Structure formats: C-alpha cells, structure tokens
Amino acid sequence: MVKAKASERLHLLHLHSTFDAGGKERRSTTLINRFGKAVEHSVVSAQPGALGARAQLDAGLAVHFPFGFPPLAGRFGVRRLQTLARAMQGFDLILTYNWGAMDAAMAHALFAPAMGLAPLIHHEDGFNADEVVRLKTTRNWYRRVALARASALIVPSRQLERVALEVWHQPPARVQRIGNGIPVKHYGKKPRADALPRVVKRPGEKWLGTLAGLRPVKALPRLVRAFRALPEEWQLVIVGEGPEREAIMAEAMRLEIGHRVHLPGHVAEPADATGLFDLFALSSDSEQFPLSVVEAMASGLAVASPAVGDVADIVSAENAPFIVPPGDEAALSAALLRLAEDETLRRRVGAANQVRARAEFDEAAMARRHAALYAAALGLPSFP
C-alpha cells in the first residue's frame, strides 16, 4: 500500500455493525465532524437501513452512504469475503467497528496484500446479549485471525483491553485503549421543560433518567423494577429507541407505574435530556466505557449503576458507593432510593462527577489520540 499523500483529501471507509444512534456512533460522528472537510468518508452499516446516527453529522461534510455495498454479515465463504475485499479497494484507510464488521476485517486479513487494500484499524466497544455471560470460543478464534493484519485495535475500557490481550491474543503494541469523550462544555445547562419529545417536566417532578438503546443487553425492565420504590414525585425517563420498547412498557404496566415511566424516543442532543434529569441510572448487563455515564457526570448528576465495564473507574470517588454488583436488582434499587431521598447527597455527588468529567473526559483529547493512530497507520506526520 502506497502511503497516502498529505496534499490529497483522504477517503475513509467506515464499516459499522450498526449506524443507529448509540455510544459508538456518537464517537464516530464526533470524530468525523472534528476532522471536517479535509477528509471524505463512506459509511456502511451491517444492518441495512440502520443509519439513524447520520443526523448527528454536520452539514456540508463529504460523507457518503454507498448503495449496493456487499453485506457485512452472512455465511462464511471465501468468495463472499473476496467480494467484500474488492469493495474495500480504493480507500486510504479502513475502519471497522464491533463484531458486525468482523467479516470485513477477515476479508482484509486474507486479501489485503493481493488487492492492495488500505490499512485497517478495528474499534471494539463491547458485546451483545449473546456474549454477556461468556465469550464464544469460535468468535474468539475468528477475531484473532481476522485482526492479524490490523494496524491497531482500539478499545475504550480496561476490561476490553484485557480481553484483547489475554483472550484474543493480540500483540500489546496493536491494542490501544482510548476512553470515550464528549464536548463537556455543552453539558450542565438547564434546557426548557419541554425540550424532549412527548414528555414535559412539570413543576415539582423529579426525573430519574437514562440514555440507552432499547435492547435486551441494557436490561431496562430491571431499571423499571428498581425505580418502583422511589417516591411518587419521581418519574422514570428512558431516552432511546430499540426493540425492547414494548417489553419496558409492559413491565411498567404490570407494576402499575405506567403513568410514571416515559419513553420519548431518540433525542438529537443528549445534553437536553441529561439537563432535565435529577439522577442518572444504568441497568445494563454489559457495558465497557458508557458514554451516557460521562454525559450524566458532565451534567452534574449522581449515577447509580452496576459495576459493568469501567463504570466504577469512570465515576468520582464520591459516587463509588452507588456502583453496585452486576445483576443485583435489590442493590440498584437501594442505591437509587438513597440518592432520591437525599437531595444534599445527590448534589454533592453530582458536583464531584462534574469536576471529574471536565478534567478527564473532554472529546478533544480523545480525538487527538484517534488522529495520531490514523496518521501512524497512513504513514503521515499528522491527520487529517
């Protein structure tokens, strides 16, 4: 592969497991926006039509969503991978994301030299419900082979870093841990009471909120049950879209708290949601470095959450007592109740979280580290 020329506009190919709005997609669109007009992008989703995150892209950027790109997922076969590799020709850098794009990484591993494919960097953000309890042996082997020619493997958490090194047997020099970041200056302001669709914050209400894709791995019916014990003035607001919407509302109706549980859908600006929350909760079975926790912290919120991924390391020391064992619904409920009933405690913990978020998790540092890795893969002194 000939090194890219700094004088030319670089063209990056992004191969995603999904491009619906979520944590990894927010990071990807943030980087695309920060790289600006100096870089051209083509974005493909393994789930056709799952392109909700495109709304987060700034206007005027050269971002394409190519029609007819070979499916990223399907039955294993050399011909299929060869076709996929052929479609990856002509780009300066190939970026793959999560298990849903692993076939593209395998195609690169098999055919990159013969087809002159660009360098590939893989981003891994965690696991779906089918690998929450135990990683699948066949997938571990497949990842190990598919990433053989990757210039770098970027992970956001210490847990994933350990998996990459000890389970997938990746060389230490290839594995790069970069924590997620957000534009912290956009958080901490109070939006209008009607900033979210389909729900308005009324005087006297307190909101327990979360930002999450409505997927089984997020265990949101568990959050509904944990919320039930909170005083009547508290409302549960779950911001996001996904297939679990009916299951969440069914649980709320079963517990006779349907009038206190609200699902406004996707919100373009997460700060509009977190700015209205009084307390933040996570209930997931699996996370790595959840961006939503950082967004809550930057908004000055206390966080109650299972100790999944790096959550316990992300929050402030003052927040540590409210990070509970994974899957312990009673402990999560108790943490929520203690914070809900003590406004002084809630504000003190939230203030400590805000200080930490502003000091540690601004997106500028995250973008610089990604840019440095992309430049190294391209053999350039800087990127873009």
Give the domain range for residue 274.
Answer: 184-360
pLDDT score recorded for residue 134 = 87
Same domain, 327 and 368: no
119, 190: one domain:
no
Running DSSP on this structure, what letter comes out for residue 122? E
Judge whether 383 lies within some domain.
no
The b/e string for 263-297 (b: 16+ C-beta within 10 A; e otherwise) is bbebbeebbbbbbbbbbbbbbbbbbbbbbbbbbbb
Considering the domain architecture, whether residues 152 and 192 belong to the same structural domain is answered as no
333 and 371 assigned to the same domain? no
Question: 253 lies in a domain?
Answer: yes
Same domain for 128 and 17: yes
Q: Is residue 384, in this structure, part of any structural domain at all? A: no
Whether 2 is covered by a domain: the verdict is no
Is pLDDT at 306 greater than 70 in this prediction? yes
Residues 118 and 258 in one domain: no
What share of the chain in percent tops pLDDT 70?
98
Co-location of 351 and 369 in the same domain = no
**Least confident piece of the model among 6-10, 100-104, 205-209:** 6-10
Examine residue 272 and state whether it is found in any structural domain, yes or no. yes
User: Is 3's pLDDT higher than 50?
Assistant: no
Q: What's the structural domain count of the chain?
A: 2
Asked if 89 contacts 66 with a C-beta cutoff of 8 angstroms, the reply is: no
Model confidence at 4, pLDDT cuts 50, 70, 90, reads very low
Kindly report the pTM of this predicted structure.
0.80
Q: What is the mean pLDDT of residues 281-307?
A: 96
Q: Are residues 171 and 224 in the same domain?
A: no
List pLDDT tens digits, range 159-188. Answer: 999 999 999 999 999 999 999 999 999 999
pLDDT digits (tens, 9 = 90+) for 20-50: 988 899 899 999 999 999 999 999 999 988 9
CATH code of the domain containing 166: 3.40.50.2000
Distance CA 105, CA 89 (A): 13
Same domain, 229 and 151: no
Confidence (pLDDT) at 22: 81
Residue 125 resides in a domain: yes
Q: Residue 335, SS3?
A: helix
What pLDDT does 132 receive?
A: 73
In a domain, 356, yes or no: yes
The pLDDT of 184-211, averaged and rounded, is: 96
Q: CA 86 to CA 177: how far, in whole Å?
A: 30
| Residues 372, 324 share a domain | no
For residue 125, what are the CA distances in angstroms to 25, 42, 97, 180, 348?
Answer: 10, 20, 8, 10, 31
Q: Specify whether 31 is located in the same domain as 53.
A: yes
Going along the chain, which residue ranges are E strands?
A: 10-16, 39-45, 63-64, 93-97, 120-123, 152-155, 175-177, 206-211, 234-239, 261-265, 279-281, 303-306, 323-324
221 and 341 assigned to the same domain: yes
- Is the pLDDT at 8 greater than 60, yes or no? yes
Give the pLDDT mean for 93-117.
97
**Does 205 fall in a domain?**
yes
Residue 78 tokens, joined: 């050399």
* pLDDT tens per residue, range 44-91: 999 988 999 999 999 999 999 999 999 999 999 999 999 999 999 999
- DSSP per residue, 209-270: EEE---SGGG-HHHHHHHHTTS-TTEEEEEE--STTHHHHHHHHHHTT-GGGEEEEE--S-H
pLDDT at 207: 98
